[in-house]
């Protein structure tokens, strides 16, 4: 078998039909990573004239003219087949050595365990593949549960039904209720293009500061959209303040009418405890609505629309992936996530995807875990938890690998001191 550099078209034709495909194994992702000083290599393995595997390597030049190589969510070949995997591996390591590489990192897009929404193991499906990498002397970096690795190891997804209504009925009662309530509470959603990337970035920043995740500059997301718009949608959730004001006003009118009818009825009957309780409920609700009307009027006087949430969705392979999102915490009571998740589900159905993937969560879904809030809303969609096989290092040059690990440890200590 022979490994060689291949064209973008040939690479993509193979990659897009491979079951392990991800956005990270596309030439467009390689072009994007040039912004952060990575170079990319598109490699294909041929058995005679048949292409049997591909992978994109990212290369980062390090001190001493040595390079770190990384195959994000690679390989794209039959990793169950040990002989094929070994042939692919041997050729790739030879290629890395020729390019002064000292370390090769890979985090295959391979499922290790499938768990239910409570984290209970349903089945193990990746033990053989894990052992294949271990037999090739890859060093597994551990069964991390949070976000210690380059990409999330735990994902959550649910299977789409034939249509929207059937899919909706698979969610919890509370989730269905929240979707309906959000979409009938003055909240609207629209798609944008790269002309409004600044708006998208601002909303990411508002969540990023709270959740402690890295938000790139606007130009990064603009470049990302330009390269990957064929696989991507950007959603903005906003409040139409005039609509919101009118909705509250109409609800108040409805309550007032109910109270008026209520008093007409109690004139004809003796007032009992149940009737009195209902009267209190209506008056309390009216009081809350009047307070909300004042708030709605304030918003309406300030601006016609208020942007409160943003989502970037990636549609690739058999999944629609909620890749990154942000909300303005000042308007969290409007539940913008339900709005953009709902839009994402509708578009995933239109594109005939099999799954909606809510992407990264913590593997520790205990309510006391500081990352639990990331999973909390997603749990109501009755997902399964996907545990990926994890991250591996293959040491090409032990001396430089030791220096690298020492430097990395020192960097983390300095960063912790600064924080």
> How confident is the prediction along the chain (419 residues), in pLDDT tens digits per residue?
999 999 999 999 999 999 999 999 999 999 999 999 999 999 999 999 999 999 999 999 998 899 999 999 999 999 999 999 999 999 999 999 999 999 999 999 999 999 999 999 999 999 999 999 999 999 999 999 998 888 999 999 999 999 999 999 999 999 999 999 998 888 999 999 999 999 999 999 988 655 557 899 999 999 999 999 999 999 999 999 999 999 999 999 998 888 887 777 666 565 555 666 777 888 898 999 999 999 999 999 999 999 999 999 999 999 999 999 999 999 999 999 999 999 999 999 999 999 999 999 999 999 999 999 999 999 999 999 999 999 999 999 999 999 998 888 876 766 666 65
pLDDT of residue 213: 73
Asked, as a colleague might, if the bond just before 75 is cis with ω within 30 of 0, I would say yes
Our separate counts of H helices and E strands in the chain read 13, 16
- Per-residue b or e along 24-55, where b marks 16 or more CB atoms closer than 10 Å to that residue's CB: bbbbbbbbbbeeeebebbbbbbeeeeeebbbb
What is the pTM for the complete model shown?
A: 0.91
The H or E element that residue 320 is part of is strand 319-327
pLDDT of residue 296: 93
Q: Do 73 and 151 meet the contact criterion of CB atoms below 8 Å apart?
A: yes
pLDDT of residue 415: 62
Report the SS3 class of residue 125: coil
Distance CA 311, CA 347 (A): 13
Q: Do 353 and 330 meet the contact criterion of CB atoms below 8 Å apart?
A: no
Nearest partner of 319 among 373, 389, 384, 364, judged by Cα = 384
In this structure, the strands spanning 66-71 and 101-106 are parallel
Report the SS3 class of residue 122: strand
Quick one: tokens of 80?
Answer: 């169950």
Quick one: tokens of 123?
Answer: 């089945």
Quick one: tokens of 187?
Answer: 């909240």
Q: Which residue has the tokens 């008026």?
A: 260
């Amino acid at each position: 078998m022979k490994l060689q550099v291949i064209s973008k078209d040939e690479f993509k034709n193979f990659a897009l039909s491979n079951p392990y495909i991800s956005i990270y194994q596309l030439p467009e992702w390689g072009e994007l990573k040039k912004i952060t000083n990575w170079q990319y290599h598109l490699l294909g393995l041929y058995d005679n004239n048949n292409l049997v595997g591909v992978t994109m390597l990212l290369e980062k030049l390090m001190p001493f003219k040595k390079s770190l190589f990384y195959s994000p969510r690679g390989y794209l070949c039959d990793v169950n087949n040990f002989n094929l995997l070994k042939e692919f591996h041997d050729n790739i390591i030879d290629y890395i050595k020729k390019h002064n590489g000292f370390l090769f990192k890979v985090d295959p897009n391979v499922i290790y365990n499938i768990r239910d929404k409570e984290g209970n193991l349903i089945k193990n499906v990746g033990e053989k593949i894990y052992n294949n990498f271990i037999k090739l002397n890859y060093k597994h970096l551990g069964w991390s549960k949070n976000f210690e690795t380059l990409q999330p190891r735990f994902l959550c997804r649910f299977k789409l039904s034939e249509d929207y209504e059937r899919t909706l009925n698979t969610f919890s009662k509370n989730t269905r209720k929240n979707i309906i309530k959000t979409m009938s509470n003055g909240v609207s959603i629209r798609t944008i293009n790269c002309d409004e990337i600044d708006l998208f970035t601002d909303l990411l920043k508002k969540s990023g500061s709270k959740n402690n995740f890295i938000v790139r500059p606007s130009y990064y997301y603009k470049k990302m959209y330009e390269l990957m718009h064929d696989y991507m949608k950007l959603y903005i959730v906003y409040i139409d303040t005039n609509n919101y004001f009118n909705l509250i006003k109409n609800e108040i009118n409805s309550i007032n009418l109910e109270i008026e009818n209520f008093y007409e009825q109690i004139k004809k009957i003796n007032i009992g405890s149940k009737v009195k309780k209902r009267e209190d409920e209506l008056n309390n609700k009216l009081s809350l609505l009047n307070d909300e009307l004042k708030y709605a009027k304030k918003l309406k006087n300030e601006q016609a629309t208020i942007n409160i949430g943003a989502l970037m969705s990636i549609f690739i392979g058999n999944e629609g992936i909620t890749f990154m999102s942000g909300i303005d915490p000042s308007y969290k009571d409007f539940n913008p996530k339900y709005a953009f998740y709902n839009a994402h589900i509708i578009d995933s159905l239109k594109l005939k995807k099999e799954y909606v993937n809510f992407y990264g969560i913590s593997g520790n879904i205990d309510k006391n875990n500081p990352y639990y809030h990331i999973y909390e809303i997603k749990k109501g969609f009755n997902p399964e938890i996907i545990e990926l096989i994890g991250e591996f290092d293959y040491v090409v040059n032990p001396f430089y690998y030791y220096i690298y690990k020492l430097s990395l440890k020192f960097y983390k200590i300095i960063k912790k001191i600064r924080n």
